[in-house]
Amino acid sequence: MPALANNCDISIIIVSYNSLDPLKDCLKSIASQTGVSFEIIVIDNDSKDGTPELLKSQNVNALFPMRNIGFGAAANLASKQAIGKYLFILNPDTILTPGCLASFLEFAKSHPDFGLASAHLIYENGNTQISARNLPMRRDLLFGRGSPLYRLGLAREKDAGYLSSLGDSPLRVPAISATALFVRSDLFREFGGFDERFFMYMEDLDLCKRVSDRDLTVWILPQVKVVHSWRKSSGTRPYFSAWHHHLSVYKYFQKHYSSPYNIGLAVALVIGMALTFGLILFRKKG
């Protein structure tokens, strides 16, 4: 149900960038949620696909920074407008299944000291989209989703620290994705939100690392499902996405594991980025 007066249970924050069609479906799925009071804040990073016009016709709090300020900075800006006790940071290419918000709220009430939580992400065909993982180490980069080996089908998620077995009950995990991230509003603000040095990618793992360093818990809720059309929003600009992914990886390790070894990491990332660009170009020509 819509937010009441000056407070509500959950503030849903969506950062959009040229995601018009997926966003329409996302907003429809949110509108069908029951059992909780919520508001919707959509911050649009200067889309050119008609998203601003759509938002002006919807029952949402729409913010327009007039340029692409990045995912983390946009989510932080939206959080300052939020009135909910909890924040639910959601990708525009997601669809909430029935009872999703109510399940998150029930979990939060029974685990008042939780740090972060996420849903069980699934593809449109119902298959699990692996999102829970260990915090990344340098050796994981060879097999990660942004690596040339993964793009060639020569690496698996588990090789890069992803956790494929979730069970049926809430599960404590080291790290989760910001695709569908549930957090207390006061805690998010206490942490200063996302680190805005990460334009896109790795801001979620950075937040998980900071939460873990404070001995707070990170959870995934297997019974709460969210459909995620992976890369429907980011996949429209593959070179842009690949550049920022590699840059954010380097920033993450410089921030949390500063070491002379990071010189070698930088070289490896440049090589990996060049190979990734080559694969993108090859597939475009093919």
Could you give the 3-state DSSP secondary structure of residue 5? coil
Is the pLDDT higher at 132 or at 163?
132
Given this model, what pLDDT does residue 93 score? Answer: 97
Of the given ranges (2-16, 121-135, 210-224), which has the lowest mean pLDDT?
2-16
pLDDT-derived band of residue 20, with 50, 70 and 90 as boundaries? very high
Query: What is the arithmetic mean of pLDDT over 86-110?
Result: 98
Domains of the chain: 8-128+166-230 (3.90.550.10)
Given this model, what pLDDT does residue 269 score? Answer: 84
**Is 188's pLDDT higher than 90?**
yes
Q: What percent of the chain has pLDDT over 90?
A: 67
Residues 6 or more apart whose CB falls under 8 angstroms from that of 44 comprise 16, 17, 51, 52, 55, 62, 63, 64, 65
Q: What percent of the chain has pLDDT over 70?
A: 88
pLDDT-derived band of residue 167, with 50, 70 and 90 as boundaries? confident
Given this model, what pLDDT does residue 246 score? Answer: 87
**Is 114's pLDDT higher than 60?**
yes
Is the pLDDT higher at 274 or at 148?
274
Given this model, what pLDDT does residue 213 score? Answer: 95
Given this model, what pLDDT does residue 168 score? Answer: 86
pLDDT-derived band of residue 232, with 50, 70 and 90 as boundaries? low
CA nearest neighbour of 180 among 90, 85, 76, 82: 90
Tell me how far apart the alpha carbons of residues 25 and 35 are, in angstroms, rounded to a whole number.
20
